[in-house]
Amino acid sequence: MANRELSKAEWLDKAEAYCARAEHCAADVRRKLYEWGAPADLYDEIEENLYKNDFLNDARFCDAYVHDKVAYQSWGRQKIQAGLRALQLSERAISTAMDEIDEEQYCKNLENLYLQRRADSEEKRLRFLMQRGFVYEEIKKVAKNLHI
């Protein structure tokens, strides 16, 4: 494949293989096609085929994204929503996925982050947690519950 142009079917196969390995969104696929050097006039057709054959699914991607950001990176709602909006996903898909956040895990993450930063000044701790996507009211509620 090094010295010849790929056909439309080969580009589609390559994109399908990429999507089969992990959840991706249309923006990820377009970025990958660009990196691979695929002709720009094929992007829309490849994307359409990926949606039609369920290799791309915005709701499924949003669910996975939200779960992973809460479970593995301890992000707050604001940062998660900003990340999904940056990928140009529908507000409906984002909202539905955000409603599925595991509240117990979410609160535990915030508490753990708060306690990890207890040596910092209140201002520094607040700024850190807000950069992680937590809102002021959530942070104050945790501080009150922890009696700090």
Residue boundaries of the structural domains of the chain: 1-56, 103-146
* C-alpha to C-alpha distance for 86 and 76, rounded to whole angstroms: 16
* C-alpha to C-alpha distance for 49 and 62, rounded to whole angstroms: 20
Burial class (CB in 10 A: 0-12, 13-18, 19+), 4: exposed
Digit-coded pLDDT (tens) for 25-71: 999 999 999 999 999 999 999 999 999 999 999 999 999 999 999 99
CATH of 1-56, one of 3.30.70.1520, 3.40.640.10, 1.10.10.10, 3.40.190.290: 1.10.10.10
The pLDDT value recorded for residue 4 is 65
Alpha-helical runs (H) found in 72-120: 77-86, 91-99, 103-116
The pLDDT value recorded for residue 133 is 98
* φ, ψ of residue 117 in degrees (nearest 5): -105, 15
